[in-house]
């Protein structure tokens, strides 16, 4: 068929040329017969050419010639007003004999149901009904006589449907609206194995129709988890099979019989670590990547590696902090993966701050943290430039190691030593930054600043949480919406000096609980180190040998309206602890199902305890040492000596900052006084992994 079309196109071209050169009526007659025989008599181009030629010859034609020209005109089938077609919409080679790419009769388009029979050439069209238009009010409906009969409109103000009769708009009924949840499920849940999580939903319907609830597993598989329903109450029971670790999603539905509203939640079964299955620790020695000393004229920040550490699921950070007279100098933070491979050196450009030796910096001394959800490492520092203090939040990208921002948002705050402790809420949107020395001379000093971290590259200073007691915020911990912070310098209780205190503060409701030491002790410093889980508080009082304890409290941090914490008992430093000297509780960290404690600055041991082994109930006198699991040390034969887990108590900068951190079955610990590579105090770090 394509070849036939090609021949016709060639013939058409020849005929157009012949028409253009024709000079007599006889030629016109012959050409019009040829056009008819070639079945090209309806071709628009040929008709136009023939019409043009006949019109030109008619003025001077004889009577005989006019008769001949009339024969040619008779072949015209297209009116003089027809225009050239612009498109085909039928591909070359189609079986359509009426419309082709090169012989276009026209193109068709419609918003309704359009069909074309290529065999008969019949075009069929069924028009769509008038579109449904939405109007804000009844007064916005157009005049009926200016609108098509049958046109429909929905009015938002009364949710009614109207149809135009031609003379008026008729209200034909209400538009049924979807129900809406008044109590929605959370976006995600962590289920406990074998335990029930109860979700109660509520919904309303604008028309007052009764609502039925249902659910469907919309992603993943329940595995051994189950879902039961009673009306609007859903009970999801976590699987007891430790292989069921993959998340699944449930879509909850509210229906009014016509319309459905959905809400989807993701569920993960959180299996606690069975610490009783582990008998030892594998140790990875992390060597200082840049050991050495510096002066204020160079950028060698390699001393005191291990000064601070942080850990997350896939990464850990170790800091260094160089020293030179007259003060601290520089320091860097090093980001590693869990194999111990150095990924990035996090450096804000310390050398730029040292144009003379009156500028010094305390960078590596400060706290750091990792938040994988935000993809950031956060570091605090107090910088001095020309004698002026600069309190800085340095935020780095995990993926690139690049500095996202150096935020000086607390520089307007005076009289405090910000950055002694930093923590982030689990969603990463709020950072809490303590300034425990604010109003140092007052009996109530310190507190914490809230920093909005919704955009990590643009922190925003928020409200201040006032302290309750002296040195409020020297150490902090957060879980769910509850902030637990120290006030270990608080005095005046029972006439003793600094027996200490701790405080709970709810970030959502602003409700508070004051926690006084169960046993008052002179310089007991209750609250020096704190930790919080879903079910427990851990608060240390490491100040005096013989009265140095870690106190355990029962507390439900998942409830914003939880009752006050109740003391469960204590774990005391003593002979049951290998490597113990004094000041038990100098450091506390919590992991999944276990907690970890360090003691005096010269000790090199971390002791581990199981939450599962804690007895039910208890009082202030209850001995909880039976929860003890094991100990680990940071001594390493590859170092030249000086490995200790915590040296802060001996340097006058406050003993609250311990340099070990826990995540899952891994612990990273710093030993910044260790001697390696011939440099005294070049430091070291260790990554411990629990093993069977």
* Range from 176-180, 194-198, 264-268, 633-637 carrying the lowest mean pLDDT: 633-637
Which pLDDT score, from 0 to 100, does residue 558 have?
A: 92
Residue 539 has pLDDT above 70, yes or no: yes
pLDDT digits (tens, 9 = 90+) for 229-275: 999 999 999 998 888 889 999 999 998 888 889 999 999 998 878 88
Which pLDDT score, from 0 to 100, does residue 470 have?
A: 87
Which letter, b or e, does each residue of 660-691 get, where b requires 16 or more Cβ atoms within 10 Å of its Cβ?
bbbbebbbbbbbbbbbbeebebbbbbbbbebe
Q: How confident is the model at residue 500 (pLDDT cuts 50, 70, 90)?
A: very high
Which pLDDT score, from 0 to 100, does residue 642 have?
A: 45
Give the separation between CA 349 and CA 299, rounded to whole angstroms.
9
DSSP bridge pairs for 660: 669
pLDDT digits (tens, 9 = 90+) for 27-38: 877 878 887 777
Which pLDDT score, from 0 to 100, does residue 319 have?
A: 87
* Range from 7-21, 644-658, 662-676 carrying the lowest mean pLDDT: 644-658
For the chain, first and last CA: distance in Å? 80
**What does the mean pLDDT of the chain come to?**
79
Quick one: 568 exposed, middle or buried, by C-beta within 10 A (0-12, 13-18, 19+)?
Answer: buried
Q: How confident is the model at residue 45 (pLDDT cuts 50, 70, 90)?
A: confident
Which pLDDT score, from 0 to 100, does residue 662 have?
A: 94
Q: For 189-201, what is the mean pLDDT?
A: 90
Backbone φ and ψ for 687, nearest 5 degrees, come out as -110, 115
CATH of 180-269 among 3.40.640.10, 2.60.40.1080, 3.40.605.10, 1.10.275.10:
2.60.40.1080
Read off the tokens for 358: 């009156």
Which pLDDT score, from 0 to 100, does residue 355 have?
A: 44
Query: Quick one: which of 687, 662, 669 has its CA closest to 594?
Result: 662
Give the separation between CA 570 and CA 15, rounded to whole angstroms.
110
Quick one: 548 exposed, middle or buried, by C-beta within 10 A (0-12, 13-18, 19+)?
Answer: buried
Higher-confidence residue: 615 or 493?
615
- Report strand pairing: 188-191 vs 260-269: parallel
Which pLDDT score, from 0 to 100, does residue 358 have?
A: 46
* Range from 57-71, 93-107, 206-220 carrying the lowest mean pLDDT: 93-107
> Quick count: other Cβ atoms within 10 Å of Cβ 7?
10
**265-274, 291-300, 480-489, 616-625: range with highest mean pLDDT:** 480-489
Give the separation between CA 319 and CA 362, rounded to whole angstroms.
11
Query: Quick one: which of 54, 53, 14, 57 has its CA closest to 34?
Result: 14
Order of all β-strands in the sheet with 160-164 = 132-135, 152-155, 160-164, 169-174
Q: How confident is the model at residue 481 (pLDDT cuts 50, 70, 90)?
A: very high
Order of all β-strands in the sheet with 430-435 = 418-424, 430-435, 447-452, 460-466
- C-alpha distances in Å from residue 468, one per residue of 471, 478, 516, 631: 9, 17, 11, 35
- Residue 114 CA from chain centroid, whole number: 48
- C-alpha distances in Å from residue 335, one per residue of 95, 346, 351, 368, 666: 69, 7, 20, 11, 16
Give the separation between CA 314 and CA 458, rounded to whole angstroms.
25
The answer to whether 317 and 289 have CB atoms below 8 angstroms apart is no
Give the separation between CA 627 and CA 515, rounded to whole angstroms.
23
Q: How confident is the model at residue 366 (pLDDT cuts 50, 70, 90)?
A: low
Quick one: 299 exposed, middle or buried, by C-beta within 10 A (0-12, 13-18, 19+)?
Answer: middle
3-state secondary structure of 60: coil
Q: For 663-691, what is the mean pLDDT?
A: 80
Give the separation between CA 117 and CA 668, rounded to whole angstroms.
78
Residue 3 has pLDDT above 70, yes or no: no
**209-213, 249-253, 409-413, 469-473: range with highest mean pLDDT:** 249-253
Q: Rounded to two decimals, what is the model's pTM?
A: 0.64
Q: How confident is the model at residue 380 (pLDDT cuts 50, 70, 90)?
A: confident
Q: How confident is the model at residue 370 (pLDDT cuts 50, 70, 90)?
A: very high
Residue 353 has pLDDT above 50, yes or no: no
Q: How confident is the model at residue 91 (pLDDT cuts 50, 70, 90)?
A: low
pLDDT digits (tens, 9 = 90+) for 414-428: 544 555 689 999 999
Backbone φ and ψ for 37, nearest 5 degrees, come out as -65, -35
The answer to whether 268 and 191 have CB atoms below 8 angstroms apart is yes
The share of the chain scoring above pLDDT 70, in percent, equals 74
* Range from 2-11, 405-414, 536-545, 635-644 carrying the lowest mean pLDDT: 635-644
Backbone φ and ψ for 651, nearest 5 degrees, come out as -110, 5
DSSP run (H or E) holding 686: strand 684-691
**344-348, 384-388, 479-483: range with highest mean pLDDT:** 479-483
Q: For 58-64, what is the mean pLDDT?
A: 75
Three-state SS for 65-121 is HHHHHHHHHHCCCCCCCCCCCCCCCCCCCCCCCCCCCCCCCCCCCCCCEEEECCCCC
Which pLDDT score, from 0 to 100, does residue 147 have?
A: 84
- C-alpha distances in Å from residue 616, one per residue of 67, 567, 591: 121, 11, 20
Q: How confident is the model at residue 676 (pLDDT cuts 50, 70, 90)?
A: low
Give the separation between CA 231 and CA 407, rounded to whole angstroms.
51
Give the separation between CA 481 and CA 427, rounded to whole angstroms.
11
Give the separation between CA 250 and CA 233, rounded to whole angstroms.
14
Which pLDDT score, from 0 to 100, does residue 273 have?
A: 83
The share of the chain scoring above pLDDT 90, in percent, equals 30
pLDDT digits (tens, 9 = 90+) for 595-647: 999 887 556 778 889 998 898 888 988 999 889 888 877 654 444 444 444 43
Which pLDDT score, from 0 to 100, does residue 363 have?
A: 46
Q: How confident is the model at residue 139 (pLDDT cuts 50, 70, 90)?
A: confident
Strands (E) located in 352-475: 361-362, 368-371, 376-385, 388-397, 403-407, 418-424, 430-435, 447-452, 460-466
The answer to whether 100 and 90 have CB atoms below 8 angstroms apart is yes
Q: How many residues does the chain have?
A: 692
Give the separation between CA 160 and CA 147, rounded to whole angstroms.
18
Which residue in this structure is represented by tokens 């150096």? 406
Which pLDDT score, from 0 to 100, does residue 97 have?
A: 47
Quick one: 133 exposed, middle or buried, by C-beta within 10 A (0-12, 13-18, 19+)?
Answer: middle
Domain ranges of the chain: 2-74, 132-174, 180-269
Higher-confidence residue: 168 or 634?
168
Which pLDDT score, from 0 to 100, does residue 89 have?
A: 52
pLDDT digits (tens, 9 = 90+) for 319-339: 887 654 444 455 788 999 999
Residue 691 has pLDDT above 60, yes or no: yes
Which pLDDT score, from 0 to 100, does residue 454 have?
A: 94
- Residue 245 CA from chain centroid, whole number: 21
Give the separation between CA 441 and CA 560, rounded to whole angstroms.
33
Higher-confidence residue: 98 or 496?
496
* Range from 146-160, 239-253, 565-579, 637-651 carrying the lowest mean pLDDT: 637-651
């Amino acid at each position: 068929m394509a070849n036939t079309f090609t021949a016709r196109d060639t013939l058409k071209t020849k005929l157009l040329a012949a028409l253009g050169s024709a000079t007599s009526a006889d030629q016109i007659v012959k050409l019009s017969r040829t056009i008819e025989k070639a079945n090209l008599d309806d071709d628009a181009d040929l008709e136009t050419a023939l019409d043009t030629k006949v019109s030109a010859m008619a003025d001077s034609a004889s009577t005989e010639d006019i008769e001949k020209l009339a024969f040619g005109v008779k072949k015209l089938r297209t009116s003089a007003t027809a225009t050239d077609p612009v498109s085909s919409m039928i591909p070359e080679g189609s079986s359509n004999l009426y419309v082709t790419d090169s012989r276009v009769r026209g193109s068709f388009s419609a918003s309704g149901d359009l069909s074309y029979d290529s065999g008969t050439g019949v075009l069929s069209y069924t028009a769509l009904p008038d579109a449904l238009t939405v109007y804000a009010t009844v007064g916005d409906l157009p005049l009926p006589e200016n609108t098509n009969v049958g046109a429909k409109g929905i009015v938002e103000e009364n949710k009614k449907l109207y149809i135009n009769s031609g003379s008026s708009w008729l209200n034909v009924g209400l538009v049924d609206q979807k129900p809406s949840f008044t109590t929605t499920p959370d976006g995600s849940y962590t289920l406990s194995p074998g335990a029930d999580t109860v979700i109660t939903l509520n919904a309303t319907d604008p028309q007052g129709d009764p609502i039925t609830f249902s659910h469907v597993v919309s992603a993943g598989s329940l595995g051994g988890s189950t879902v039961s329903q009673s009306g609007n109450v859903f009970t999801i029971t976590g699987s007891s099979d430790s292989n069921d670790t993959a998340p699944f999603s449930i879509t909850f539905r509210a229906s009014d019989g016509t319309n459905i509203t959905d809400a989807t939640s993701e569920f993960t079964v959180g299996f606690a670590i069975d610490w009783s299955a582990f008998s030892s620790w594998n140790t990875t020695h992390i060597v200082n990547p840049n050991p050495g000393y510096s002066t204020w004229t160079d950028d060698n920040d390699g001393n005191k590696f291990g000064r601070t550490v942080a850990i997350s699921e896939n990464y850990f950070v170790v800091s260094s902090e160089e020293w030179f007279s007259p003060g601290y100098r520089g320091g860097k933070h090093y980001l590693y993966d869990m194999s111990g491979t150095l990924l990035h050196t996090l450096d804000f450009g310390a050398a730029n701050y040292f144009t003379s030796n009156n500028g010094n910096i305390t960078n590596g001394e400060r706290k750091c943290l990792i938040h994988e959800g935000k993809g950031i490492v956060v570091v605090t520092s107090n910088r001095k430039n020309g004698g002026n203090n600069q309190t800085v939040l340095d935020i780095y990208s995990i993926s690139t190691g690049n500095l996202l921002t150096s935020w000086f948002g607390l520089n307007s705050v005076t009289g405090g030593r910000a950055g002694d402790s930093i923590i982030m809420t689990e969603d990463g949107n709020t950072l809490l930054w303590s300034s425990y020395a604010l109003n140092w001379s007052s009996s109530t000093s310190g507190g914490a600043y809230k920093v909005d971290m919704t955009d990590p590259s643009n922190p925003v200073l928020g409200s201040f949480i006032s302290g309750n007691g002296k040195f409020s915020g020297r150490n902090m911990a957060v879980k769910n919406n509850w902030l637990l912070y120290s006030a270990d310098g608080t005095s005046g209780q029972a006439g003793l000096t600094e027996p200490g205190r701790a405080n709970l503060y709810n970030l959502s409701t602003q409700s508070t609980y004051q926690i006084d030491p169960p046993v008052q002790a002179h310089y007991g410093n209750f609250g020096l180190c704190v930790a919080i889980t879903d079910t427990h508080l851990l608060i240390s009082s490491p100040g005096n040998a013989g009265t140095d304890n870690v106190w355990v409290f029962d507390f439900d941090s998942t409830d914003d309206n939880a009752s006050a914490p109740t003391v469960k008992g204590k774990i005391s430093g003593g002979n049951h602890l290998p490597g113990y000297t004094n000041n038990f509780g100098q450091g506390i960290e919590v992991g999944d199902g276990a907690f970890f404690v360090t003691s005096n600055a010269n000790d090199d041991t971390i002791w581990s305890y199981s939450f599962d082994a804690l007895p039910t109930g208890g009082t202030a006198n209850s001995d909880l040492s039976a929860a003890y699991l094991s100990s680990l040390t940071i001594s390493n034969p590859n170092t030249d000596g000086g490995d200790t887990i915590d040296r802060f108590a001996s340097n006058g900068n406050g003993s609250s900052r311990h340099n070990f951190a826990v995540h899952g079955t891994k612990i990273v610990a710093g030993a910044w006084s260790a001697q390696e590579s011939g440099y005294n105090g070049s430091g070291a770090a260790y990554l411990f992994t629990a093993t069977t």
